Structure 1
Amino acid sequence: MKMSYFNWWSAGLCAGVLTAVTVIVYIEDRIGWGVAGIILTVVMATSLLIFLIGTPFYRYRAPTGSPLTPVLQVFVAAIAKRHLPCPNDSALLHELSREECTKGRLLSRTNNLKFLDKAAIIHNRGRENVMAEKESPWKLATVTKVEELKLLINMIPIWFFTLAFGICATQSTTFFIKQAIVMDRNIGHSFVVPPSSMFALVALSMIISLTVYERLLVPLLRGVTGNERGISILKRIGIGMVFSLITMIAAALVERKRLDYTKQHHMTMSALWLAPQFIIIGIADPLSLVGLQEYFYDQVPDSMRSLGIAFYLSVIGAASFVNNLLMTVSDHLAEKISGKSWFGKDLNSSRLDRFYWMLAALTAVNICFFVIVARRYTYKSVQSSVAVADGGDDVEMASVANTSKYT
């Protein structure tokens, strides 16, 4: 159920987006912004009421202090023991017993970033020395705490190499809509599609893609690969990146054709030409965006789940800043080299197609680096025996707890 949660949550969100860019936008254009505002107010009031009714039934995770403190403790302990040889036998490293572990799950030792394993070395194995070291977490860390720090460090390159996808996804709410503004959006003789309603193609494509992925592809792939998720999380994200690359290529080709058509015929092309790029990015989003949600939630330490969602949101936010930086730099270079801006107020005198080709090239290079990092990535590995769940009062059996097999 956890594996399906983000798929259905995103599908529900897309249903809201689809309603917003069709029904609400139509009411704003044809009836009035005041009426649309009243409708949205009623919707938000209803949502707030449902939220308040459900709040007492929510199971909160008991706070356990700052999640960053154990990270610093592992660093301090590892640096203090930097001259000690790191044993190959995990039994020689400090770990809590199952009776001592009352919250969270015990993680298995992995072979990457072995320097940090030194934080779990018991320097002198005499009884009194062991007890003294255990009293200070700044001198001795558990294998689980070390592995949690490794998880965070391993996430940094994954986070970085997903920014390119975020940049591509940003275009669907910015330049794709701007293209729609200058194109023919007439349906029949009287109805004109609002530019923002073109985003309905993305929302509709996402809903269909998520449903097909969850109901058809996952069960099919599960039988082929033996992976409970169908395919691993990082493979899902990588496939989404490939679709974002195809989106940028399609967008560049359509924009080039639009410029040529406008120049030759002195009239605008139909906005339906934009449908492929909206639909393809709508296929990429369920793979990469939803995959990122699941990845950061699943792979962060158990005590940092809220921080994991923050990592996911920061990809979109940071990608928007990088997108603006790319626009500024590329526009400056274009004006310096050719004397013509890529981003004029009038799209017919701009070269948005070149910007799309640049994004396609950057995405292609980025995918290569992402594949290298993903192939070397080590997933969270929970010790394969009875593990205590997050709430402290539930028990997960080994077949569920051993996530390294299914991620």
Structure 2
Amino acid sequence: MEIGGEVGAHNREVEDGSVDYKGRVPLRATTGGWKASLFIIALEFGERLCYFGIVSNLFMYLMTVLHQDVKTAAKNVNEFVGVSTVVPLIGGFLADSYTGSFRMVVLSSSLYQIGLMLLAASQLLPLLKPPACVGDSCSGSLGLHKTVFFVALYLISVASGVHKPSLESFGADQFDETDHGERRKKTSFFNWWFFGACSGTLLGVSAFVYVTEHLGWGVGFAVLAVVLAIVFLSLLIGTPYYRYKVPRGSPLTPMLQVFVAAMAKKKLPLPSDPSQLYDPVVPGRRRVSHTSRMRFLDKAAIIDQVEPQEGSKKMTGQNPTSEYCRHPWRLATVTQVEETKQLVSIIPIWSAALMYGICIAQSDTFFIKQGSVMDRHITPSIEIPAGAILTISTLSMVIFVGLYDRLVVPALRRFTGNERGITILQRIGVGLFSSISFLAATAIVEKKRKDSPEPISFLWLCPQLVLMAICEIFTFVGLQEFFYGQVPENMKSLGMGIYLSVFGVSSLLSSMLISIVDFLTSRGGNSSWFQEDLNKSKIDYFFWLLAAMSIVNFCFFVCLARRYSYKPVKGLRTEAVVDLRDGDHEMSSD
């Protein structure tokens, strides 16, 4: 009876080391899960609505209100987006090291709210409102309005960058990885997170344009401020239901200690039995099982006979030396060593994801350029803007992600026996393969467009946009789940920052690639593939080049995926092992 009662208590309590808002061990029935994550997804929906409402119209605002030329406006848009893709690494590091994800979300949402209110004030307050202009002649100075506008804009850019990794990792933290039922729900969480983000994006791109065109920029910015205030308030209301991870200092220091300790003991032989390595039980923290890869780093966990130095720590272990005073730069735990191996092993996967980011980056440039020279009439009197064509892809993602989670995953689960339907890397691989098809479709449609004597309908872009949506559902969500699940336990927010850096680096690489292709194709007096007149350009050749590069990258990814080993984790009371062969979690007694 006592044993049964103890197991029952264990089942009621969360076992992943998180705490509730009062610092106690959370109870499954009253914290976490969908009851908590819905508040978090609502905030993501509102934030994406605000962000894309601004970024999709920023270029026009800079040109029409601030009267900037095309190059200056494009530069400012790129800088705004660039800041929001670099800051996640900093925000994720600070959340994991010092503040915790929830506090960082509250801080970033507060900055976001101030930025939106300043944007609205810059248009609504008479003192800050831009002067009326006729052509290049304005009735007053734009100086004060421009200053307030850019202060607000970069507050939003920084806040968005800090917000993204912290909020998503906080949402995933609401599901206990050591519990089979909650682990399955976490897989669905990433799908519905993506659904919420896409829904917010779709509404931001479409509804915000309508509001600004009919009611003005000031009302549009005010509406965004109200939307964020509502979802931010809903996040705060959910405070008693959340599970919180306690920050444990810099997550990079223990990894640096592993390299230093391994180098210090590089001449020592490795023990034949891995159980001889230093593997202590640290209260409240899960341990990572030993693996045979990168064995040189195992030397950091060898217990040698060196006298302990000042600053040593006493810990209790499960190896032959039950109590050992260790210096952290001389002796590392097996968990430290394995987490360092894990971080090193995800770098190749990160590099293979860059090609996907390069392909997606073309949607914001060449796809819109294609649409601008096509027939965009829905009816003889109604013509949609070129930028609105991308809503076809966003709407497809909103529809398909729900179908994937509710229909495809259960069917695959029955067939494969995998609780995710397919493994994380298989999901990413399907997306990378899909990118080849949407690039090929883009090249074929562009060839048809150029060969047609009359402008063809924008509906010809539907195949490539729908295929791109399928690609994103698999790759985008798969990368989120991968970088959250495969980084060390104390690096979840930073892991999401690493994932988001894929798109920042890819944008830079895309620009470099276009410059290189432009230089090579224009040598010797030849015409570049990229011309101001799209009909004289050869971007269909460029898309075939991207498709060929994607094929090579897909083969590279398959080689990496076949050799990759998922992270094995020992829980506080159980052990969960993610096995590459079946992609599932196996539970065994510790």
SS of 2:331 mapped into structure 1? coil
- Per-residue CA deviation, residues 193-215 of structure 1 (Å, 9 max, x unaligned), is 12222111111211222112211
2:537 counterpart residue number: 350
Distance in structure 1 (CA, Å) of the matches to 2:192 and 2:208: 23
Structure 2 CA distance for partners of 1:338 and 1:205, relative to 1, 3 Å = farther
TM-score, normalised relative to structure 1: 0.89
2:418 counterpart residue number: 227
1:403 counterpart residue number: 578
Q: Does 1:85 align with 2:263?
A: no
Q: CA deviation at 1:42?
A: 2.7
Structure 2 CA distance for partners of 1:104 and 1:133, relative to 1, 3 Å = closer
Percent sequence identity over aligned pairs: 48
Aligned residues: CA RMSD: 2.3
Q: CA deviation at 1:46?
A: 2.2
Candidates 78, 88, 106, aligned match of 2:287: 106
Given that residues 14 and 203 in structure 1 are in contact (C-alpha distance below 8 angstroms), is that contact kept between their aligned partners in structure 2?
Answer: yes
- Per-residue CA deviation, residues 91-122 of structure 1 (Å, 9 max, x unaligned), is 1111013xxx2132111111111111111111
Higher relative contact order (CA 8 A, sep 6+): 1
> What residue identity is the alignment partner of 1:289?
F
SS of 1:359 mapped into structure 2? helix
> What residue identity is the alignment partner of 1:106?
R
2:499 counterpart residue number: 312
1:122 counterpart residue number: 303
2:200 counterpart residue number: 16
2:63 counterpart residue number: none
Given that residues 134 and 140 in structure 1 are in contact (C-alpha distance below 8 angstroms), is that contact kept between their aligned partners in structure 2?
Answer: no
Given that residues 133 and 139 in structure 1 are in contact (C-alpha distance below 8 angstroms), is that contact kept between their aligned partners in structure 2?
Answer: no
> What residue identity is the alignment partner of 2:294?
L
1:135 counterpart residue number: 326
Q: CA deviation at 1:126?
A: 11
Given that residues 133 and 140 in structure 1 are in contact (C-alpha distance below 8 angstroms), is that contact kept between their aligned partners in structure 2?
Answer: no
Q: CA deviation at 1:227?
A: 1.6
1:166 counterpart residue number: 357
Given that residues 6 and 294 in structure 1 are in contact (C-alpha distance below 8 angstroms), is that contact kept between their aligned partners in structure 2?
Answer: yes
Given that residues 124 and 130 in structure 1 are in contact (C-alpha distance below 8 angstroms), is that contact kept between their aligned partners in structure 2?
Answer: no
Structure 2 CA distance for partners of 1:337 and 1:112, relative to 1, 3 Å = farther
Distance in structure 2 (CA, Å) of the matches to 1:381 and 1:218: 24
2:465 counterpart residue number: 278
Q: Does 1:6 align with 2:181?
A: no
1:188 counterpart residue number: 379
SS of 1:268 mapped into structure 2? coil
Q: CA deviation at 1:290?
A: 0.7
> What residue identity is the alignment partner of 1:60?
Y
SS of 1:402 mapped into structure 2? strand
Distance in structure 2 (CA, Å) of the matches to 1:104 and 1:210: 34
> What residue identity is the alignment partner of 2:431?
G
Q: Does 1:206 align with 2:397?
A: yes
Distance in structure 2 (CA, Å) of the matches to 1:31 and 1:252: 39
1:71 counterpart residue number: 255
Given that residues 222 and 229 in structure 1 are in contact (C-alpha distance below 8 angstroms), is that contact kept between their aligned partners in structure 2?
Answer: yes
Q: Aligned pairs, how many? A: 388
Distance in structure 1 (CA, Å) of the matches to 2:305 and 2:187: 44
- Per-residue CA deviation, residues 283-331 of structure 1 (Å, 9 max, x unaligned), is 0101001100000000000000011000110001110000000000001
- Per-residue CA deviation, residues 352-401 of structure 1 (Å, 9 max, x unaligned), is 11111111111110011111011101110113xxx22xxxxxx6x44xx3
Distance in structure 2 (CA, Å) of the matches to 1:24 and 1:138: 54
Structure 2 CA distance for partners of 1:283 and 1:5, relative to 1, 3 Å = same
SS of 1:50 mapped into structure 2? helix
Given that residues 181 and 195 in structure 1 are in contact (C-alpha distance below 8 angstroms), is that contact kept between their aligned partners in structure 2?
Answer: yes
Structure 2: gaps of 5 or more residues = 1-184, 309-313, 315-319, 586-590
Distance in structure 2 (CA, Å) of the matches to 1:256 and 1:337: 25
Candidates 342, 364, 375, aligned match of 2:551: 364
- Per-residue CA deviation, residues 176-195 of structure 1 (Å, 9 max, x unaligned), is 11211111100111111122
2:176 counterpart residue number: none
Distance in structure 2 (CA, Å) of the matches to 1:118 and 1:153: 16
Structure 1: gaps of 5 or more residues = 389-394
TM-score, normalised relative to structure 2: 0.62
Distance in structure 2 (CA, Å) of the matches to 1:32 and 1:268: 33
Q: CA deviation at 1:217?
A: 1.8
Q: How does 1:319-330 map to 2 (within 5 A)?
A: 319-330=506-517
SS of 1:187 mapped into structure 2? strand
Distance in structure 2 (CA, Å) of the matches to 1:245 and 1:260: 23
Distance in structure 2 (CA, Å) of the matches to 1:333 and 1:145: 47
SS of 1:278 mapped into structure 2? helix
1:339 counterpart residue number: 526
Structure 2 CA distance for partners of 1:180 and 1:34, relative to 1, 3 Å = farther
> What residue identity is the alignment partner of 2:229?
A
SS of 2:568 mapped into structure 1? coil
Distance in structure 2 (CA, Å) of the matches to 1:241 and 1:69: 34
Q: How does 1:39-50 map to 2 (within 5 A)?
A: 39-50=223-234
Q: CA deviation at 1:167?
A: 0.7
